[in-house]
Amino acid sequence: MSGPDGAGPGPGAPAGRLLRVLSAWDSIERTLVGLLGAAALAIAVVQVFGRYIDPENAINWAEEVIVYLAVWAVMVVSSQLVRNDGHVRPDLVLRLLPARGQRWVETLNCLVAVAFAAGMVWYGWKIVALAWMFDQRSSSDLLFPMWIYYLALPAGGALMLVRYLIRLVRYLFLFDPATMTIGQAIHHEAPADLVPPATE
């Protein structure tokens, strides 16, 4: 992208690159969650088929692997929930506050969430390290390395941590009451035909 005089990148170039990176991040997360869900479904179908059609050769580790895939999918999609403000939370009182009050309550919420996500990364990594150290494996015939399963906790925590830090920066330095108060859609996440009403 060039500036108005064509001499070099315009002032919006870094922001444009950042938006492309964030868009790619979103696409990777959604694709990964879809693949994990599809794999879990495929394994469930194979298990049901084997149980009723060919019981002698049916796999006995399907439920175990489905749980692993589901937990990984949940931890990855938790990052998307932070991005879209989709985590379940009561916001009745928050809706009664003016835009400035909402801003600082959301900022406090981000700080608490950052601490929580950092704790997930820290303690989750300790669990992974212990499972790796003792070569902990599942009790089924699969003998699945449990550190891979436990890794979902710090990985999901790290994804949420970065998302909450981005959210915190937006509330501290880029706050827009027209799009960032409760009940308003964030502009880049809203449908094209939805124009959020301004809120003072």
**Residue 165 pLDDT > 90:** yes
The encoded tokens of residue 137 equal 């494996």
CB atoms within 10 A of CB 13: 13
Q: Are 17 and 47 in contact (CB under 8 A)?
A: no
pLDDT at 4: 39
Chain centroid, CA 8 distance in Å = 36
The encoded tokens of residue 166 equal 């981005």
- pLDDT tens per residue across span 80-132: 999 888 777 777 777 788 888 889 989 999 999 999 999 999 999 999 999 99
Return the closest-CA partner of residue 183 out of 168, 197, 162. Answer: 197
All structural domains of the chain with their residue ranges: 25-175
Place of tokens 């390395």: 145
The encoded tokens of residue 130 equal 């212990």
**Would the CA dihedral through 133, 139, 145, 148 be positive or negative?**
negative
